[in-house]
Chain A
Amino acid sequence: DAGVTQSPTHLIKTRGQQVTLRCSPKSGHDTVSWYQQALGQGPQFIFQYYEEEERQRGNFPDRFSGHQFPNYSSELNVNALLLGDSALYLCASSDDLASYTDTQYFGPGTRLTVL
C-alpha cells in the first residue's frame, strides 16, 4: 500500500507566479485535506475535499483553490504567489466514514520557496 504521495518534492517560484501541487490519497480513502506549515510553526488547515467538492475551508484567501478528481486525487493551486506563501504544503487523506474518529494520514509534503 503506497500511502499518501505528493508531487513535486520541491518547487521554486517567483512572486506573482502560479503553482499547482498534487496529492494522491492512501488507498481506500476518499477525503483529502491540505495544510500549510511555515517554518517553525504547526500545520494550518487550508481546505478539505470530498466527493469532488470543497467541504470545509480554513482562514486562507481565495488565491488558494483546489480540485478533487473522480479517483480522489487532489490539486492545490495558489495564484499570485507572495513571499509569505513559502512553506511546506502537506496533504492528508482519510476515510469520510471515520472522519471524526480516525487519524489523518499525511504525505511527505511539497516544499515551496517563493523568491
Chain B
Amino acid sequence: KQEVTQIPAALSVPEGENLVLNCSFTDSAIYNLQWFRQDPGKGLTSLLLIQSSQREQTSGRLNASLDKSSGRSTLYIAASQPGDSATYLCAVRSGQAGTALIFGKGTTLSVSS
C-alpha cells in the first residue's frame, strides 16, 4: 500500500530564507508526483507536477526534484516571503491507486517578516 510522508510537519522561517520541504513515498512505481499549496480552509492549488520520467520541475522561486529509486521528492523555495505561508502537500499517483492521488499530511510553513 502506497504511503506518503512529509517532514517536517511544521516550519517557521524569517523572510528571505531558502528552505526545503521533504516528501517520501513507499512504492517507487509512480506515474507522477505533485506539490500543492493549501491556504487555511481553502482548496488545493497545484504548484508543480513531475512525471516519473523527469528529475525536476521549476516554476519561479519553486523547484521540485524527484528521485524515484529512493522514493523521495524535495520542494525548494528560494527567498521565502510572508505570502508563502501555507500548508504544502505532496501527492503521488501510483499504479496501486489508479488515477487517485495519495497525499501526505503536509508541511505547514510560516514565514515571518
Stretch at the interface among B13-21, B64-72, B100-108: B100-108
- Interface residue SS majority, chain B: strand
Question: A18-56: which residues lie under 8 A (CB-CB) from chain B?
Answer: 31, 33, 35, 40-45, 48, 56
A42-B89, A100-B31, A103-B49 known; A109+B100 contact, CB < 8 A? no
A90-B44, A109-B43 known; A48+B104 contact, CB < 8 A? no
- When C-beta atoms are compared, the residue in chain B nearest to A41 turns out to be B105
User: What's the interface size class on B, roughly?
Assistant: 20 to 34
**Which residues of the partner chain A approach B36 to less than 8 Å between Cβ atoms?**
106
- When C-beta atoms are compared, the residue in chain B nearest to A6 turns out to be B43
A58-B100, A100-B93 known; A105+B46 contact, CB < 8 A? yes
**Which residues of the partner chain B approach A42 to less than 8 Å between Cβ atoms?**
4, 89, 91, 103-106
A101-B31, A101-B32 known; A56+B99 contact, CB < 8 A? yes
**Which residues of the partner chain A approach B106 to less than 8 Å between Cβ atoms?**
42
A103–B100 CB distance below 8 A:
no
A42-B106, A108-B43 known; A94+B99 contact, CB < 8 A? yes
User: What's the interface size class on A, roughly?
Assistant: 20 to 34
Q: Interface readout for B50-75 with A: 1 if CB under 8 Å, 0 if not?
A: 01000000000000000000000000
A42-B89, A42-B105, A42-B106 known; A100+B42 contact, CB < 8 A? no
Q: Residues on B close to A: CB < 8 A?
A: 4, 31-32, 34, 36, 41-46, 49, 51, 89, 91, 93, 97-106
Q: Can you show 11 pairs from A to B with CB atoms below 8 A apart?
A: A33-B99, A40-B105, A42-B89, A45-B102, A56-B99, A101-B31, A101-B51, A103-B46, A106-B36, A106-B44, A109-B42
Q: Residues on A close to B: CB < 8 A?
A: 4, 31, 33, 35, 40-45, 48, 56, 58, 88, 90, 92, 94, 99-109, 111
